[in-house]
Every structure is written in structure tokens, then in C-alpha cells.
């Protein structure tokens, strides 16, 4: 049964007030679960976000034979033997399933998987993964629209791998594969996202030898299974959720305190908002944001970390629709990430598409409630924010897309004064 949100726009002069804690990072949690395949004993995680993507990956791992219990705190034990074929019906719907291929191939010497799915935000090929596995000695065969990969002799070998394009998931997947590969692996032009450094810190604490994670060159000395030895790893806070609440607070918050976050990982978003005139106060683990009467238009250009996140691009377009002046939004990473534009225009926003990567936003414009269809995870939350600052009632369909990355968002926003209801269709 599908669900939708019914959202009442905030009345003039009324804004959200209160505290919003940030949950564990989706993009860290998914990779931690994949890394659990590298352990000989039980591994435990705390602060896991209770979201659809994590639930689906846990379900997929269970189908493959992994023992997993819990939701916020997860206990995971990998058996000595398990199926090495990812269930196509689940893996095709979950892009993150591709990260399982590195640990499975490295530990059991073979893996079979379909072409992964996920949000429809543009092409996300797996060629970087396949090329990396080949350099580590694997053989690849296309099979029924997917891939069958084997390591001769049952083991990968260390290699020098240069990413012609920075890839977060590619860096993480090959880094995990290298933990069990024989010899030393060097990853060059690696992605810099903090989730990579967090993953490496977790693995190093359990016996891995990974150096340089979070820099362009990552060196891994591999060859043995890891042991948690009863340790518990805490999933770091979600920097994209933090940025989402920053933009929400700027548009709809009288006084919002974002807690359990890491402002140091959100510098690009904070810098853009401050240039636009948003009043912010940061401490080591909190950000306070108060709505100003007027904002200035600022250009944004998405970029790999530490640049402005592509995942917040749609939300910033909503913000800029309420700022004074004209701004360019330049999406440099995905060519399909502007699919949200028509729905915002329907609400009254002035957004003009220049090409598949650029839009011009003019503001401020008054938004009106509308019936909206969420095209992907981040655009779905952008619609939710737009609905809160619009006049009247909005209905947002395909709530599942939002649930993939934001835990029970309607309950959390109701606590700070939003009028949002989840309705079964």
C-alpha cells in the first residue's frame, strides 16, 4: 500500500521552533553493513538510521544467509559459507547493493549481481568497479543482464588503481575488497567524502591497514579477516540530513537547533547560506538557525566533497526561489537531477532550465500548495520544504522515496510545529 503526505503551509508570521536531532548517516550505514562481511566474528553498530535503504540492505543480506538482528542497534554475524549471488529483485532496486560485491568477491572468490538500481537521477555506471576488480585479477562475464565475477584461485591480489572519475561508492567498494586481497592496493584519485574516512577508521580499529582515507590516495595492505573483538561502532551523523535541516530552518524556522551533527562536514552549505544572509551559530555538535526577513540570491555549483553536495541541490533551488535576485544552479555530477523543476514551477517558483545541468532561479516568488509526485529521495524533501512555505495545502505522493533517506520525517517535523500527515492511499 502506497502513502502520501498532506502538508499545510505555515501561516504568515509563524515558523518552526525547537530541536531536531540528526540521525546516523545513510551513506555510512550502508557501507558499514557491507563491511560486516569482512569479519570472522560478530560486529555491532549503533546509531543506525531506521530508513528504507538500510532496511532493504539488511533484508537482502538476510536472504543471502547473513545473521542480522536489531534496527537502531544492529548485530551482524557472517557465516563461513553464504550465497554469493545478490537476489536480483532486491539488488536491482537498491543502488547501494553494489558495495556488497567487493567484500563478497574478496572473501569467497566470486560474486554475481544485476545492474544496480536506485534513484532516477542520471547514469551511474559500474564500469569503475569492474575495471578495478579486473586490475585485482578478477575475471568478468556478463550474464542475464548482470555480471558474474570470479577471482582465479579464489583470491584477489593487490593492484594500483587510478579512478578516471572520482567515485565515492567505487572508492569504498574497492577499499573493502583490498582489505582481504593479497598484497598492497593503492587507489588514486579516490573520493574524499568523510564517510570514506569513517569506514576506514572502523576497519582499522578491527585490524585492517588502511592509510590515506579521505585523501586522493588510499593505500591498503590486505590479506586477513577482521575481528570486532566485542567492539561497537557508532554510525556518524548524516551531513546531508544536517544540510537539509539547515535549509528547512532558513526558510521555515523561527528558531531551530540542529543537534547531534558535525558542522565541520557541512562547511560548503554553511558558507552558501551565510553568503545569502542566513544567521547561523555553530558549536562542535550543534547549529542554531533563525529565519531572516530577506535573503540574497547566490549562485551554487555542485561538486564532490568538500564542495556543495549534489544531494542538496534541489533543496537549494527551493531556498533560492524565496531569495531576492537571480541565481544560477549548476549541477555538475548528475544529468538527471533537475527533474523536480516542473513541479516547483507548478507551485509558482520561477525556474528556467538552460540545459540538463543548469537552471536560473529568480525570486522571491509566492508559492501555492499543489499535488506533487516525488521523483527521487532529495527532490522529495525539497517538495516537503516548499509545501511548508507555500500557501494552502499540498499533497506529496511517492513518500517511499523520502523514507529511503529520512527517518519518519513527518513525526520529527511535527515536533517543531509542522502540520504534516502521512496518509495511506
pLDDT at 54 > cutoff 60: yes
Torsion of CA 216, 222, 224, 230, to 10 degrees: -20
Mean pLDDT of 171-200: 98
Reading across the β-sheet that carries 253-259, which strands appear in turn? Answer: 16-21, 253-259, 287-289, 280-282
Q: Could you tell me if 193 and 265 lie in one domain?
A: no
Mean pLDDT of 73-87: 96
Active site residues: 119
Cβ distance 5 to 399 under 8 Å?
Answer: yes
How sure is the predictor about 119, in pLDDT bands with cuts at 50, 70 and 90? very low
Q: Could you tell me if 275 and 341 lie in one domain?
A: yes
Mean pLDDT of 192-215: 98
Mean pLDDT of 181-202: 98
Mean pLDDT of 42-52: 97
Q: What is the pLDDT of residue 197?
A: 98
How sure is the predictor about 369, in pLDDT bands with cuts at 50, 70 and 90? very high
Q: Could you tell me if 168 and 272 lie in one domain?
A: no
Q: Could you tell me if 376 and 325 lie in one domain?
A: yes
Mean pLDDT of 147-174: 96
Q: What is the pLDDT of residue 117?
A: 57
Mean pLDDT of 173-184: 98
pLDDT at 116 > cutoff 80: no
Mean residue pLDDT of the chain comes to 95
Q: Could you tell me if 224 and 255 lie in one domain?
A: no
Cross-strand pairs, 17: 255
How sure is the predictor about 145, in pLDDT bands with cuts at 50, 70 and 90? confident
pLDDT at 120 > cutoff 80: no
Mean pLDDT of 49-63: 97
d(CA 268, CA 52) in angstroms, rounded, equals 27
Residue labelled with grid coordinates 545473521: 67
Which helix (H) or strand (E) segment holds residue 149: the answer is strand 146-150
Q: What CATH code is carried by the domain that includes residue 353?
A: 3.65.10.10
DSSP characters over 264-333: GGGHHHHHHHHHTT--EEE-SS-EEE---S--B---EEB-STTSB-GGGHHHHHHHHTTSBEEEEEE--S
Mean pLDDT of 182-200: 98
Q: Could you tell me if 309 and 182 lie in one domain?
A: no
Q: Could you tell me if 170 and 279 lie in one domain?
A: no
pLDDT at 25 > cutoff 70: yes
d(CA 371, CA 196) in angstroms, rounded, equals 38
Q: Could you tell me if 33 and 104 lie in one domain?
A: yes
Q: Could you tell me if 327 and 358 lie in one domain?
A: yes
Tell me the per-residue pLDDT of 254-296, one tens digit each, with 9 for 90 and over: 999 999 999 999 999 999 999 999 999 999 999 999 989 999 9
Cβ distance 116 to 164 under 8 Å?
Answer: no
Residue labelled with grid coordinates 558495495: 99
Mean pLDDT of 153-161: 96
How sure is the predictor about 239, in pLDDT bands with cuts at 50, 70 and 90? very high
d(CA 306, CA 56) in angstroms, rounded, equals 29
Torsion of CA 250, 252, 258, 262, to 10 degrees: -40
Cβ distance 315 to 381 under 8 Å?
Answer: yes
Tell me the per-residue pLDDT of 301-315, one tens digit each, with 9 for 90 and over: 999 999 999 999 999
How sure is the predictor about 35, in pLDDT bands with cuts at 50, 70 and 90? very high
pLDDT at 118 > cutoff 70: no
pLDDT at 40 > cutoff 50: yes
Cβ distance 254 to 291 under 8 Å?
Answer: yes
Q: What is the pLDDT of residue 13?
A: 76
How sure is the predictor about 121, in pLDDT bands with cuts at 50, 70 and 90? very low
Q: What is the pLDDT of residue 324?
A: 98
DSSP characters over 67-121: EEE-SSSEEEE--SS---B--HHHHTT-GGGGGGHHHHHHHHSEEEEEPP---SS
Mean pLDDT of 171-194: 98
Among 315, 336, 334, 335, residue whose Cα is nearest residue 272: 315
Q: Could you tell me if 191 and 58 lie in one domain?
A: yes
What is the 3-class SS of 182-228, one letter each residue? Answer: EEEEEEECCCCCHHHHHHHHHHHHCCCEEECCCCCEEEEEECCCECC
Domain end, chosen from 187, 211, 234, is at: 234
Q: What is the pLDDT of residue 271?
A: 98
Domain end, chosen from 214, 234, 254, is at: 234
N-terminal to C-terminal alpha carbon distance within the chain: 7
Share of the chain above pLDDT 70, in %: 98
Q: Could you tell me if 45 and 185 lie in one domain?
A: yes
Strand, helix or coil at 384?
A: helix
What b/e string do you get for 366-377 counting C-beta neighbours within 10 Å, with b at 16 or more? ebebbebbbbbb
DSSP characters over 337-371: TTTTHHHHHHHT-EEEEEETTEEEEEE----B--E
| 62 HSE (CA, 13 A, CB side) | 11
pLDDT at 128 > cutoff 80: yes
Q: Could you tell me if 245 and 327 lie in one domain?
A: yes
Domain, as residue range, for 93: 26-234
Domain end, chosen from 181, 209, 234, is at: 234
d(CA 191, CA 302) in angstroms, rounded, equals 15
pLDDT at 62 > cutoff 50: yes
How sure is the predictor about 122, in pLDDT bands with cuts at 50, 70 and 90? very low
Q: What's the structural domain count of the chain?
A: 2
How sure is the predictor about 402, in pLDDT bands with cuts at 50, 70 and 90? very high
Amino acid at each position: 500500500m502506497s502513502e502520501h503526505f498532506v502538508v499545510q503551509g505555515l501561516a504568515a508570521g509563524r515558523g518552526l521552533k525547537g530541536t531536531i536531532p540528526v540521525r546516523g548517516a545513510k551513506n555510512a550505514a550502508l557501507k558499514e553493513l557491507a563491511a560486516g562481511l569482512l569479519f570472522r566474528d560478530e560486529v555491532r553498530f549503533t546509531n543506525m538510521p531506521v530508513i528504507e535503504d538500510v532496511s532493504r540492505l539488511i533484508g537482502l543480506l538476510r536472504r543471502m544467509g547473513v545473521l542480522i538482528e536489531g534496527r537502531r542497534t544492529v548485530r551482524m554475524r557472517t557465516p563461513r559459507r553464504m550465497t554469493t549471488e545478490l537476489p536480483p529483485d532486491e539488488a536491482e532496486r537498491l543502488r547501494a547493493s553494489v558495495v556488497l560485491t567487493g567484500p563478497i568477491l574478496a572473501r569467497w572468490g566470486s560474486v554475481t549481481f544485476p545492474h544496480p538500481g536506485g534513484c532516477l537521477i542520471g547514469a551511474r555506471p559500474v564500469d569503475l568497479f569492474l575495471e578495478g576488480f579486473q586490475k585485482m585479477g578478477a575475471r568478468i562475464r556478463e550474464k542475464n543482464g548482470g555480471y558474474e565475477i570470479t577471482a582465479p584461485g579464489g583470491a584477489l591480489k593487490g593492484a594500483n588503481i587510478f579512478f578516471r572519475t572520482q567515485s565515492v561508492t567505487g572508492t569504498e567498494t574497492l577499499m573493502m575488497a583490498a582489505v582481504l586481497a593479497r598484497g598492497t592496493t593503492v587507489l588514486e584519485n579516490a573520493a574524499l567524502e568523510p564517510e570514506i574516512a569513517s569506514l576506514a577508521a572502523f576497519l582499522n580499529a578491527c585490524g585492517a591497514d588502511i592509510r590515506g582515507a579521505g585523501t586522493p590516495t588510499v593505500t591498503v595492505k590486505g590479506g586477513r579477516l577482521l575481528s570486532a573483538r566485542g567492539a561497537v561502532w557508532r554510525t556518524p551523523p548524516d551531513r546531508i540530513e544536517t544540510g537539509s535541516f539547515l535549509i528547512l530552518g532558513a526558510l521555515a524556522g523561527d528558531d531551530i537547533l540542529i543537534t547531534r551533527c558535525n558542522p565541520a562536514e557541512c562547511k560548503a552549505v554553511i558558507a552558501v547560506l551565510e553568503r545569502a544572509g542566513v544567521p547561523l551559530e555553530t558549536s562542535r555538535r550543534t547549529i542554531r538557525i533563525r529565519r531572516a526577513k530577506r535573503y540574497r540570491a547566490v549562485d551554487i555549483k555542485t561538486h564532490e566533497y568538500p564542495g556543495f553536495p549534489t544531494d542538496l541541490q534541489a533543496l537549494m533551488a527551493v531556498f533560492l526561489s524565496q531569495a531576492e535576485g537571480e541565481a544560477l544552479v549548476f549541477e555538475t555530477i548528475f544529468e538527471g537531477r533537475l527533474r523536480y523543476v516542473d513541479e516547483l514551477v507548478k507551485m509558482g517558483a520561477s525556474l528556467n532550465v538552460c540545459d540538463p545541468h543548469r537552471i536560473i532561479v529568480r525570486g522571491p516568488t509566492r508559492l501555492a500548495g499543489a499535488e506533487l509526485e516525488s521523483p527521487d529521495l532529495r527532490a522529495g524533501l525539497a517538495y516537503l520544504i516548499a509545501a511548508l512555505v507555500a500557501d494552502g495545502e499540498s499533497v506529496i505522493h511517492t513518500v517511499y522515496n523520502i523514507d529511503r533517506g529520512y527517518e519518519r520525517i513527518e513525526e520529527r517535523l511535527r515536533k517543531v510545529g509542522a502540520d504534516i500527515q502521512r496518509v495511506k492511499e
